[in-house]
Amino acid sequence: MSDYRRYRVQGGTYFFTINLLNRHSDLLIRYIEALRDSVRRTRAERPFHIDAWVVLPEHIHCVITLPPGDDDFSNRIKAIKIRFVRAVEQDEWRSSVRAAKGERGIWQRRFWEHVIRDDDDFAKHLDYVHFNPVKHGHVTSVAQWPYSTFHHWVAAGVYSKDWAGGEIADIATGERR
């Protein structure tokens, strides 16, 4: 079995990418209320603060902050994924390995996480999360995408409604676009 070493910071702020197994699916937006309920129920059981969140048809990007003294992000992500799977009808294709283990074929097994290091890192990831629907061609304007905390940040005065992303960092490469 692989030994995944995760950098953990108690009370830390983390960026995540969580993918569906089928990268051509629209399951997350088709069952958006089930996903929202899964997040809501998980937050009630294992509190965390949502700094930024965007739901695309087949993946999620989010930035969350854990309570002081807590570094258990893995079980929060796991709980959200399990609750969502239980709320979705079982009609997806499953490999023989997943079927033998009684696993659903909805989520990729792992997720990608990054500890936010400072205010600049936070700002870059916040922009990346909110610009993602435009990056993937789902909309031409960030404000057009309904499944995003962008609208919350506009109401808070952080972004203007017509914010287009400007000089967005490509988180994967660190390059500016």
Indicate whether 173 pLDDT > 60. Answer: no
User: What domains can be seen in the chain, in order of their start residue?
Assistant: 13-155 (3.30.70.1290)
Task: Give the pair of three-digit tokens for residue 27.
Answer: 């399951």
pLDDT at res. 7: 81
List the catalytic residue out of 14, 128, 147, 159: 147
Of residues 40, 41, 44, the one with CA closest to residue 53: 40
pLDDT at res. 8: 84
For the stretch 112-134, pLDDT in tens is 999 999 999 999 999 999 999 99
* Mean pLDDT of the chain, nearest integer: 89
Indicate whether 147 pLDDT > 90. Answer: yes
pLDDT at res. 4: 62
User: Which band of pLDDT confidence, cut at 50, 70 and 90, is reported for residue 175?
Assistant: low
Secondary structure element (H or E) that encloses residue 16, with its range: strand 13-19
Higher pLDDT, 170 or 37: 37
For the stretch 26-81, pLDDT in tens is 999 999 999 999 999 999 999 999 999 999 999 999 999 999 999 999 999 999 99
Pair 11, 50: CB distance under 8 Å: no
pTM of structure: 0.88
Pair 44, 76: CB distance under 8 Å: no
Instruction: Determine whether 128 is an active site residue.
Output: no
Higher pLDDT, 136 or 170: 136
Q: Which residues pair with 13 in a beta bridge?
A: 65
pLDDT at res. 106: 83
Whole-angstrom distance, CA of residue 61 vs CA of residue 2:
24
User: Which band of pLDDT confidence, cut at 50, 70 and 90, is reported for residue 177?
Assistant: very low
